[in-house]
Amino acid sequence: MHRGDKIIRIRYFFLLCICCSLSLAFPGAAQAHVDDFPIIGVLHTGGHPEALAVDTQTHMLYIASEGLGQVTGFDPIGGSVRWRANLGNSVVDIQADSTNHHVYAISAPPRSRQNDLFIIDGTNGHILSQLPTGSGDGSIALDARRQRAYVSDTGTNTIFVFTFLTGWQSGTIRTQVTQWHIGSHPLAMGVNSRLGRLYIADSAEHKVTVVDEDSGHTISSLEVADLPVAPLRVDETSGRVYLVCAQGQELDTIDGNTNTLIAHTPITPYPEGVAFNTATGRIYVANEGDPESRGKQIPSDTITVIDRQSLDVLGTFRVGPTPDGVEADPALHRVYIALEDSGAVVELSDSTDIALKVDSTTGQVIVARQTLSVLRQATTVVLMAMLLTVVGATLLALLPRWRARGSPQTAQDAESARSEQHSLR
């Protein structure tokens, strides 16, 4: 085969690589949009409501207001606010334990080097205890079986482990505190008390660390998308772990039984809160929008609904500007959404009978994200193909010269022949 033919074939191969790469970048997709999702009511709390928690036994809803530094206890059955507790200037996370009807909240005062874990009586709002923790962003995870509360702190890269000696159910609260140093910026956390595992999402390293609760030893470490945020939800029945990655714009699902990442579900724009409803088999993700572009603007007013079994996106619906925290009460078939910039919490009736219709806009946004990801991979393939083409063509062009240099005897014979020819003349 001539050298020119080889170069032509390499060029054809290079073009084929480009065509194949681009063909992978445009997959088809079909999505649905929720039409007329029933809103039961709106509770105006003020002060940028963010984190939500539900007591599944009493059905009380607890609302953490970041701006007011306040926790609100709302009775959805009676439709009234039972109590309000002032904790500080910013409440960043809240969890409820349905076994003892206690509420756990983190208060992070500005310009303070110390956050506090507050334990509140969920029935009347009385503060039962105030425990010092770290100094940065953090979240809470509870294990009722082991009577433990975990608090993450990005400021000191620490997990504070509060083991209750007394007072978990009632009486004077006494705790033993230990510290675990796991990762560089531990943030979102969740517990599977049945398996005895604590899941810790690191917001800087983009990974989830699985820790044995009893020994404190790391069991596994899994890479996730960019900027995993709180809350991290654990379904103890199935063992699945749900984690929203805001910058990566996806919901990552982990099989907690095998510690494997089983799904990356695209969510746009910039998801924040997540909750699952065991009654309807749905996952709800709040699409807060780009926090750096508010006022420019890419705000969002939608919630994405995902099938809990297949992890496919079922559709989206509008609830109000900048939805953030999400919580569900399966027994009441209700979902709660905190609208951070509106100072309100929306109460929704959850039902699988809601009519869905095709929404090409949502599909186009998700396909665009998938296309961008594949295009990045395709660009890498193309650049590698171009590099190989240039190297191959260069080698083919230089090969005759290298052969000539590597054959001195041939050169000497040629010189002798020229000398003999000159002497004959």
pLDDT computed for residue 352 by the predictor: 76
**Residue ranges of domains in the chain:** 30-45+267-374, 50-181
Q: With H, G, I as helix, E, B as strand and everything else as coil, classify residue 286.
A: strand
More confident residue, 76 or 134: 76
pLDDT computed for residue 32 by the predictor: 35
Among the ranges 1-5, 337-341, 416-420, which has the highest mean pLDDT value? 337-341
pLDDT computed for residue 10 by the predictor: 42
Kindly report, residue by residue over 226-266, the tens digit of the pLDDT.
999 999 999 999 999 999 999 999 999 999 999 999 999 99
**Whose CA is closest to 186, among 161, 146, 157, 227?**
157
8 Å CB contact between 328 and 275: yes
CATH class of the region 50-181: mainly beta
CA distances from 407 to 118, 414, 420 (A): 85, 11, 21
Is residue 355 predicted with pLDDT exceeding 80? no
Return all residues near 138 (Cβ < 8 A) that are at least 6 apart: 92, 93, 106, 108, 115, 151, 152, 153, 154, 187
Average pLDDT (64-80) is: 93
Determine the Cα–Cα distance for residues 375 and 355; give it in Å rounded to an integer. 35
8 Å CB contact between 315 and 362: yes
Confidence band of 360 (pLDDT split at 50, 70, 90): very low
Q: With H, G, I as helix, E, B as strand and everything else as coil, classify residue 410.
A: helix
**Whose CA is closest to 325, among 272, 259, 261?**
272
Confidence band of 180 (pLDDT split at 50, 70, 90): very high
pLDDT computed for residue 377 by the predictor: 54
Determine the Cα–Cα distance for residues 360 and 362; give it in Å rounded to an integer. 6
Kindly report, residue by residue over 146-167, the tens digit of the pLDDT.
999 999 998 889 999 999 999 9
- Beta bridge mates, 229: 244
Return all residues near 76 (Cβ < 8 A) that are at least 6 apart: 59, 60, 61, 329, 332, 334, 347
CA angle 303, 305, 310 (to 5 degrees): 155
CB atoms within 10 A of CB 380: 11
Is residue 8 predicted with pLDDT exceeding 70? no
Is this structure's pTM higher than 0.95?
A: no
Q: How would you class 82 by CB atoms within 10 Å of its CB: exposed for 0-12, middle for 13-18, buried for 19 or more?
A: middle
Amino acid at 384: M
Confidence band of 378 (pLDDT split at 50, 70, 90): low
Is residue 20 predicted with pLDDT exceeding 70? no
Average pLDDT (7-26) is: 40
Confidence band of 75 (pLDDT split at 50, 70, 90): very high
Confidence band of 316 (pLDDT split at 50, 70, 90): confident
**Whose CA is closest to 285, among 208, 209, 232?**
232
Kindly report, residue by residue over 272-291, the tens digit of the pLDDT.
999 998 888 999 999 987 65
Is residue 73 predicted with pLDDT exceeding 80? yes
The secondary structure element, H or E, covering residue 202 is strand 197-202
Return all residues near 228 (Cβ < 8 A) that are at least 6 apart: 187, 188, 201, 202, 203, 206, 208, 243, 244, 245, 246, 252
